[in-house]
Structure 1
Amino acid sequence: MIDLDIINNQDIIEYKDDLIVLLNKVVEKSLEVENVEGDIEVSLSFVNNSEIKELNRDFRGKDKETDVLSFPQYENQELIKQENNIVILGDIVISLEKAKEQAREYGHSFEREVAFLTSHSMFHLLGYDHDTEENTKLMREKEEKVLELLGILRKS
């Protein structure tokens, strides 16, 4: 069972229930692609640009806005798969304000952008990083595979 706990801490960008349904599918598909099973919990918070800037400063030492932050509870998938109880995978924080800006910039829908950011963050929670060119390529392939499997295309 997958429990996606969504917390809306912003009031700038309105969204529909369809977005929540989509993000549940993204989380499920990300876990499926990695063969991670069991009782999984993920927290997903929607914030505005000022709040994510503050979090980015406090937790990463970068005093600037960003689109998404990931706070994994485990270092790698082996540790996740060893758990016998409910696995609290970690926290995802998305600036819906920044996602809206980026969707316009990239020429695709807001829903596609938030789905991408969720997929991106899920792979961080699953132990991936984009710290090298090789790791970035691998992570991008996985993110795009999830979106492709769900029919979420770049221009959708």
Structure 2
Amino acid sequence: MALRLYWNNEQEKMAIGDTLIARLEQLLQLAGEHEDVTDGVVALSFVDDAAIRELNRQYRSIDRATDVLSFAMQEDGEGEPDIDYGDLEEAEDADWEGEADQEDDAEEEDGEPLGDIVISVERAIAQSEEYGHSAERELGFLFVHGFLHLIGYDHGTAEEEKEMFSRQELILHQAGLTR
């Protein structure tokens, strides 16, 4: 088994091409190697600010757009929502893309789901302009950030933030996505 990425695009701000997906798959493999996570499935949704704002409001009670949300499947379940994407297509009906067919037996073939990462492409583009780096670098940063949340990292304290962000930067540096 291996780490697998399935993705769907629910936004129109930026075309999501093969080059970007290949980069995110590379980041997933690097992050997995770095964190000793060898198999599992990550579902990634590219959305706009309106969609992520609704998810943020619904699941975090914060009524504003954010850049990335992560919904881990491997946690104990307390406080974790059953994700209802509202206006987004239901997961089983969505146009998911990835390395394997989206059959009912995908979990058996690909391993346990690690969780869902939702990225606002609109917010990522704005942040890349603000920070003076590429949109690809910002999307990579947000993806790795989301992945680390899926496997248990958080940044609620200064110590946790330092640890998590140093891991992110190491992985991005290994992939050649520097500022």
- Global fold match (TM > 0.5): yes
Letter in 1 for 2:34: V
Q: What displacement does 1:19 show?
A: 0.5
Indicate which of 95, 107, 122 corresponds to 1:97. 122
What SS is found at the alignment partner of 1:146?
helix
1:110-137 superposed Cα distances (whole Å, 9 cap, x missing partner): 0000000000001000100001000000
| Partner residue, 2:86 | none
Matched, 1:121 2:177: no
| Partner residue, 1:61 | 61
Alpha-carbon distance between aligned partners in 1 of 2:174 and 2:112, rounded to the nearest angstrom = 25
Q: What displacement does 1:99 show?
A: 0.3
Alpha-carbon distance between aligned partners in 1 of 2:38 and 2:13, rounded to the nearest angstrom = 35
Letter in 1 for 2:32: L
| Partner residue, 1:9 | 10
| Partner residue, 1:37 | 38
Residue identity over aligned pairs, in percent, reads 44
Q: What displacement does 1:15 show?
A: 3.2
Matched, 1:134 2:159: yes
Gaps of 5+ in 1: 77-84
Q: CA RMSD in A?
A: 1.3
By percentage of residues, which structure has more helix? 1
Letter in 1 for 2:46: F
Q: How many residues align?
A: 145
* TM-score between the two structures when normalised by the length of structure 1: 0.89
Matched, 1:86 2:111: yes
Letter in 1 for 2:111: I
Letter in 2 for 1:17: D
* TM-score between the two structures when normalised by the length of structure 2: 0.78
Letter in 2 for 1:51: A
What SS is found at the alignment partner of 1:45?
strand
Q: What displacement does 1:87 show?
A: 1.8
Higher relative contact order (CA 8 A, sep 6+): 2
Matched, 1:151 2:176: yes
Alpha-carbon distance between aligned partners in 2 of 1:103 and 1:12, rounded to the nearest angstrom = 14
What SS is found at the alignment partner of 2:160?
helix
1:133-153 superposed Cα distances (whole Å, 9 cap, x missing partner): 000000001100100111111
Gaps of 5+ in 2: 77-109
Matched, 1:107 2:132: yes
Q: What displacement does 1:16 show?
A: 2.5
What SS is found at the alignment partner of 1:129?
coil
